[in-house]
Amino acid sequence: MAIVHFYEKPGCINNTRQKQLLIKAGHLLIVHDLLQYPWADNRQRLRAFFADLPVASWFNRSAPAIKNGEIDPEMASESQALDWMVADPLLIRRPLLEAEGVRRVGFDTDNIDAWLGLTESNTKQSVDLETCPKLQQKQACRS
C-alpha cells in the first residue's frame, strides 16, 4: 500500500477509473485538482513529474488548444511547454502521480503496476485509460 498524490481534472472519466484501480489495489489517494493547483509558484515541481520524457509527451493531446492547432507539442521547448502549462493546466497530461518520493505522469497500467502494484485483474485490462473516451464526440470536455 502506498500513499499516492493524484493530480486530476475533476469530473474526468479516465481519472475516475484510474483512481478506482489504485484504490482497489489498496493504495490511499490524496486527490488534488490539477486545474486549480498553483503551478506558477511550483514550476520545478511540475517539471519533476515529466522526468526524462520527451517534451512532446508531457502534453494532454485532448486539450482544446492542441486539438484546434493553437499549440504544437512537437515544437515546444521545455521552457515554452512549462509556460503554456502554467497558463493553461488543461495542457498537462493526466494524471500526475506522486508516491514514495517518485513523480510520474500518465497512467500506463504496466508501469503503475511495476512501480506501485495493481491487483492482478486490474493489470489485465486492455482499456486505454489515458485517451479521453469523449474525444470523438461533440460533447468532449472543453475545460
Task: Give the E-state strand segments of the chain in sequence order.
Answer: 3-8, 28-33, 96-99, 102-105
Q: How far is CA 122 from CA 5, 85, 110, 119, 126, in A?
A: 20, 31, 10, 5, 9
Active site residue 12: yes
Q: Which amino acid is at 22?
A: L
Q: Which of 4, 12, 85, 129 is catalytic?
A: 12
Short-list 19, 40, 39, CA closest to 28: 19
Q: How far is CA 11 from CA 6, 18, 75, in A?
A: 14, 12, 30
The DSSP secondary-structure symbol of 27 reads -
Give me the active site residues, please.
12
